Structure 1
Amino acid sequence: MSIGLGMAACGSAKQSTGTSTGAAAGPVKIGLLLPETKTTRYEQFDRPLIEAKIKALAPDAQIDYYNANENATTQQTQVDTALTKGDKVLILDAVDSKSIQSSVQKAHDAGVKVIAYDRLAQGPVDAYVSFDNKKVGQLQGEALVAAVGPKASSGKIIMINGSPTDPNAAQFKAGAHSAIDGKLTIGKEYDTPNWDPNNANQEAAAAITALGAPNVVGVYSANDGMAAGIATALKAASLSVPLTGQDAQLDAVQRILAGTQTMSIYKPFKPETDAAATMAVQFAQGKSLEPSLTPTTSTNGSGNSVASNLITPVVLTKANIKTTVVADGLYTVAQICTPDYAAACTAAGLQ
Structure 2
Amino acid sequence: MNQFVPIQPKLLHKSSTDDVLLANPRPAVPAFLSAGRTSDDEISTLYDLNADGDHVMTFPDGANAAGSEFLAQLSVSPNARRRGVPYQILDEHLSHCFAPSDAGQAIAGFLDRYEIRRPSTSLQFVNTADHYFFYKKPHEHVPGIMLLEAARQSIYYQLYTYSKHALGNVTVSLSELQAKFHAYAELMYPIEIVVDDLTEGDDPAPRKVHYLTSFFQRGRLIAEIASWAPVIALDRFQRARNVNLLDQDNFAPLPVAPVVTVVTAADMSQSVVSLLEVGKDGCKTTCPSAFDGSVARIAIIFDRTLCFSAKAVPVEGSDTTMRWTFADVSYNELETLKEIIKRGFVAQKITSCDGRGGLR
TM-score, length of structure 2 as denominator length: 0.19
Larger radius of gyration: 2
Q: Which of 1 and 2 has higher RCO (CA within 8 Å, sep 6+)?
A: 1
TM-score, length of structure 1 as denominator length: 0.20
Bigger proportion of residues as helix: 1
